[in-house]
Amino acid sequence: MGLLLLITILLPLVGAMTCRAARSTARRVARITTTATMLAAGVLVYAAPVRYCSSQASDPPVLLRPDFSIEESNAWFFMLAAVLSWTVMLCHWEVGRQREDRYYSLLLLVASGLLGLLAADNTMLRGVCFTLTLVPLFFLVGGWGGRHRRRTAARIVFLAFLGGLLALAASMTVELDAASHPSTGEAAFAAARNAQGPMILRTVPAVVLYAAAALSMILGNLAALRQDRLKRLLGCVSIAETGYLLTGLCVALAAAGRPARWDGLAASLFYLVAYVLAILGTLAALVHLGRRGKPVDHVDELAGLGRTHPATAAVLAISLLSLMGAAPLAGFWAKMAVLGSALETAARSNGPVAIPRAWFAILSVLVVVNVALGAAYYVRMVAMIYLRLPRRVLRAEGGRTVRALAFACALATIGIGACGGPPWRWALEASHGATVEAGKGDHDPSPCGRAG
């Protein structure tokens, strides 16, 4: 039954790809797919509880594992989602007659994401399924909506992204709180480590980092909301991203020596790599699209880029979405690592920290709010690329080298997002090496392996 659960969730995804391949029969394919999905969902609800699990206790928290389950608490919601998807496909929508293959493919992607979201059994998988629901919904509303469809699509995505962030943060808090009682050996180890030096030596730098992180995130994102010039906007983005980096460093300094599933210094290192790849990809794409010696410098110049330069537009969109923190790109794992380190410090009680734990709860809220603020201008740029008509065709005289760099950064962003486990382990090893060099201790370089 576990395999049937996985097949049921992936069936609409396969149907979406089939609709794109068989354009003339897209409506029929969509109806057959949703009918089969509904019947399979009925079998699963009848046989509940059903579980499909592929993860192990030693897996790092940034490794995506397809763990799904149907319990009494979510069985009927799962069935309701399948029935509603089937009902939508049976309805005859006039708006769906144009570009039917795209229309039904997007509807099936929403159905697959919704089913996965309802059955997901871990926080990271919920984030990925939520994105799989949100992205096609954005294009559905923006492409087949009413008179103000572009503005409505941007608002829907922003509000849904904010709600998803809050839900993910709450889910991570619950999971971390459940693991807030470490073993006696870990607690004694943390107490011995924290007793090595006076707490005041870490308190003042931690408070300074805390203030710098909060101010950087708030001021950078608020300034970016008002920018139309891309150079200034990306400069404000860099200020805001520095705040997220400082959040991990603040956790590392304030809670040094505390065994943790989310290591603060490793989170900052991981975030730095994801940010550099995304910002390099963005800048390279803008330089390639511009004239010689003059890159694209205004947001309005991106209008209709998805039609005039589809490949470069896709690269630029991937980089922007990674900066936004959309799953399952590298930026999503990076922001979740930083948020997880702050939440864990606020939730767990296995040793003293340099500043009050409640401060880290406030810092976690600030991270969530500022990621949502960032989503406002990132969604605006993506909407400009795909939902607006081109004002003029950009010359794209930046050269092949810059274009290759943009594509390489986008591929690396996707690769790290697809397999976050190895990069996270490398970040942990680098963090452990830095701790040893600083004389802070010599514990196990893989604290993620202790918690399931």
Buried b (16+ CB within 10 A) or exposed e, 11-48: bbbebbebbeeeeeebbebbeebbebbbebbeebbeeb
Domain total of the chain: 2
Whether residues 282 and 210 share a domain: the answer is yes
Residue with the two structure tokens 């991270």? 367
How close are the terminal C-alpha atoms of the chain, in Å? 24
> Could you tell me if residue 369 is inside a domain?
yes
> Could you tell me if residue 146 is inside a domain?
no
Whether residues 343 and 423 share a domain: the answer is yes
> Could you tell me if residue 139 is inside a domain?
no
pLDDT confidence of residue 168: 66
Amino acid letter, residue 364: S
Those residues with Cβ within 8 angstroms of residue 440's Cβ, 6 or more apart along the chain or in another chain: 193, 196, 256, 257
Amino acid letter, residue 382: V
> Could you tell me if residue 233 is inside a domain?
yes
Residue 59 gets which letter from DSSP? S
> Could you tell me if residue 241 is inside a domain?
yes
pLDDT confidence of residue 246: 85
* Phi, then psi, of 353 in degrees rounded to 5: -125, 165
* Phi, then psi, of 298 in degrees rounded to 5: -135, 140
Those residues with Cβ within 8 angstroms of residue 418's Cβ, 6 or more apart along the chain or in another chain: 64, 328
pLDDT confidence of residue 33: 92
> Could you tell me if residue 129 is inside a domain?
no
pLDDT confidence of residue 196: 37
Whether residues 99 and 223 share a domain: the answer is no
Last residue of a domain, one of 57, 89, 121: 121
Q: Which of these, 154, 66, 140, lies nearest to 96 by C-alpha position?
A: 140
pLDDT confidence of residue 177: 56
pLDDT confidence of residue 171: 62
Handedness of CA 424, 430, 434, 440 (dihedral sign): positive
- For the residues of 68-108, what is the DSSP string, one character each? EEE-TTTHHHHHHHHHHHHHHHHS--GGGSTTHHHHHHHHH
Handedness of CA 345, 237, 429, 437 (dihedral sign): negative
Whether residues 96 and 184 share a domain: the answer is no
- For the residues of 252-291, what is the DSSP string, one character each? HHHTTT---SS-HHHHHHHHHHHHHHHHHHHHHHHHHHSB
pLDDT confidence of residue 451: 35
**Residue 281 burial (CB < 10 Å; 0-12/13-18/19+)?**
buried
Those residues with Cβ within 8 angstroms of residue 304's Cβ, 6 or more apart along the chain or in another chain: 385, 388, 389, 390, 391
Whether residues 85 and 179 share a domain: the answer is no
Whether residues 22 and 92 share a domain: the answer is yes
- Give the range of the structural domain holding residue 216, as residue numbers without chain letter: 168-450
pLDDT confidence of residue 200: 41
Whether residues 221 and 277 share a domain: the answer is yes
Whether residues 268 and 410 share a domain: the answer is yes
Whether residues 90 and 207 share a domain: the answer is no
Last residue of a domain, one of 96, 121, 146: 121
pLDDT confidence of residue 172: 62
Contact 276, 238 (CB under 8 A): no
Whether residues 105 and 180 share a domain: the answer is no
pLDDT confidence of residue 39: 92
Those residues with Cβ within 8 angstroms of residue 49's Cβ, 6 or more apart along the chain or in another chain: 69, 70, 71, 72
CB atoms within 10 A of CB 396: 18
Rounded to the nearest angstrom, the gap between the alpha carbon of residue 438 and the centroid of all alpha carbons in its chain is 33
Whether residues 102 and 181 share a domain: the answer is no
Whether residues 191 and 296 share a domain: the answer is yes
State how far the Cα of 409 lies from the Cα of 85, in Å rounded to an integer: 36
The helix/strand/coil state of 50 is strand
In tens digits, the chain (452 residues) has pLDDT values of: 788 888 899 999 999 898 888 777 888 888 899 999 999 998 988 887 888 776 555 555 555 677 888 887 788 888 888 888 888 877 655 544 557 788 888 889 999 988 988 888 877 777 778 878 888 888 888 777 666 777 777 777 776 776 666 666 666 665 655 555 444 334 433 443 343 334 444 555 667 778 888 888 888 888 888 888 888 888 888 888 888 888 888 887 776 555 556 777 888 888 888 898 999 899 888 888 887 767 787 888 888 888 888 999 999 999 999 999 888 888 888 888 888 888 887 776 555 555 677 778 888 888 888 888 888 888 888 888 888 888 788 877 777 888 888 999 999 999 888 876 777 777 777 766 555 444 444 444 433 333 33
* Phi, then psi, of 291 in degrees rounded to 5: -85, 170
> Could you tell me if residue 314 is inside a domain?
yes
